[in-house]
Amino acid sequence: MRPTLDSRQLHAFAALARRGSFTLAAKDLFLTQSAVSHAIKALEDDLGTRLVDRVGRRVLLTQAGEQFLRHTEKILLEMEVARAGLDTLTKWGHGRLRVGASTTACQHILPTVLREFRQSYPKCVLRIEPGDHGQQLDLLRSGQIDLALMIEPPTPALGEFTFVPLFQDELRFLVAPLHPWAKLGRAPRETIEAETLVLYNKASHTFRLVGEYFREEKITLSNFIELGSMEAIKELVKIGLGAGVLAPWIARAELESGSLVSVPLGPRKLKRRWGVAHLKGRRLALAEETFVGLCEAVTESLGLTAPRTAA
């Protein structure tokens, strides 16, 4: 296998061809004359041909040297273009950012985050991939997204990802104002199985969390409506078709207006941690770090509670 061409040797050869003098080439490159001479000799040995002839104090290219100079100039130009492209990525406002997020995060958190992000990175190419919990993990694994704004992955998956916690929420029953639970301020255990529960997407991580919670409480969920939209859940609950299971921050406007009432699931709270996930071992680019910081600032401004170290 032939040795790879050394860029330092190529720079020395290009400078020598341009200046026609070892002394002047060394001056341009801030090297000693012997260092340039050694680089040219090593390059000729690697190529197996003579590239320059010494005629008195002048240095002339051989025919092979003239041909190789054309390739050298192209190689060095491509190297400069590559370096300039990488430099552009590190400059403020350039690069790309691919973010995955649940539909809930897309609606309630991302708009403000992206507005602030765009002000700092006006030339950054943004791509948002909406999807549920499992989809986000798959997209991270396959490298199709850089970051995911999501609920904390289950413990087995945490070995693959770094998770930066943002806030903690609590799932509660949301009911219409005239619902019996609204008047009581709680959901009597004996009435839950008979109630129609309006739940989010059966394939979602939230549905699994709710199912696990009620199994541990020895309550069977047999009467429920499954929907893929938080907004649709709220609308069904408003007209009295059942009790929704949602985090109150998702229905803040409805709770403030009194069109929905929040009551606990039971004596034991069901909490979730939200945050930003990325593949473990990845060093975040400046734009990605900025995005995470903006998520922290925006969720704090929304009054969402920062999570403790242990959920």
Q: Enter the pTM of the model.
A: 0.68
Instruction: Enumerate the CATH 1.10.10.10 domain ranges in the chain, comma separated.
Output: 7-90
Among 3.30.420.590, 3.40.190.10, 3.90.1150.10, 3.40.250.10, name the CATH number for the domain at 168-271. Answer: 3.40.190.10
Q: Which two tokens stand for residue 200?
A: 């989010």
7-90, CATH topology level = Arc Repressor Mutant, subunit A (1.10.10)
Residue 281's pLDDT is 85
Burial (CB < 10 A; 0-12, 13-18, 19+), residue 155, is: exposed
Instruction: Enumerate the CATH 3.40.190.10 domain ranges in the chain, comma separated.
Output: 96-167+273-301, 168-271
Residue 169's pLDDT is 94
Q: Enumerate the β-bridge partners of residue 146.
A: none
Q: What is the CATH number of domain 96-167+273-301?
A: 3.40.190.10
Residue 307's pLDDT is 61
Residue 82's pLDDT is 74
Residue 234's pLDDT is 95
Reduce the DSSP state of residue 182 to 3 states and report it: helix
Give the residue ranges of the chain where pLDDT is below 50: 93, 309-311
- pLDDT tens digits, one per residue of 207-252: 999 999 999 999 998 899 999 888 999 999 999 999 999 999 999 9
